[in-house]
Amino acid sequence: MQGKVYLVGAGPGDPDLLTVKALRLMGEAEVVVFDRLVSPEIMALIPPGTTRIYAGKQMARHELVQDEINDLLVSLGKSGRKVVRLKGGDPFVFGRGSEEAEVLSRAGVAFEVVPGISSASGCATYAGIPLTHRGLSQGVRFLPGHCRDGKPLDYDWSRLADPDCTLAIYMGLSNLGLIAAELVRAGLAAETPAAAVQNGTTPRQRRVLGTLATLPARAEAAGLKAPTLIIVGKVVSLAGALDWFHHDGMDDQARQA
């Protein structure tokens, strides 16, 4: 008997942001294969006795490389068990869920994809920053902030330096200085508001506000660590007025940016 693999988005960290379907599948799963970005609060909702397999990856340190994860999911799916592949955010937004789905499809393993609230949407909202706002931003672009194998970022920076667009940059903390400098060099004003949000939507959330000119130094001084979302654009100017989430680690001096 063949099982089924569910590629499930766990959202950005707050367990209250899980979808009803995600929570149900977590309770029914026989095996949960989870990423490092799934918060402890969400992991605590998995019933005792469920087999858990850590498949976390971070820069320069992989528990399982992607090919091994793919093989594991195929093997588990063919074993007849109900498998939840639990991913932070949304599986199809920088979650490599589509790559895993392709492998499962080629192997003839049944699968479903369960969307989750993306990290960009959740973290920005909990930081009081709308990704779009009339008169400030007409659109948003989602970007990875680092490349595989330590290769340099290779963007057409002139296309990204749009003052009427919001940039939501995943995994960009280590390259924040470079990103800010390239955007300014491409024509975006150094005074453009920018923010860094660590562990967004969780009790461990920290938010640092600044501009393209000041944010790299402020983030470093605050000792921010991954996972941190970078947001660039005029919408960040609303972070003070729209700050509804009272959390630990607020950098008060950053409000003066």
Known catalytic residues? Answer: 35, 57
Q: For residue 195, what are the contacts with CB-CB under 8 A and spacing of at least 6?
A: 127, 129, 207, 208, 209, 210, 215, 230, 231, 236, 239
Q: For residue 211, how many other CB atoms are within 10 A of its CB?
A: 20
For residue 40, whether the previous peptide bond is cis, meaning omega lies within 30 degrees of 0, is no
233: closest CA among 176, 183, 172?
Answer: 183
Q: Which residue has the tokens 């008060």?
A: 252
State the Cα–Cα distance between residues 115 and 11, nearest whole angstrom. Answer: 9
Strands 228-232 and 165-170: antiparallel
| Cα→Cα distances 188→162, 175, 216, 233, Å | 7, 17, 16, 10
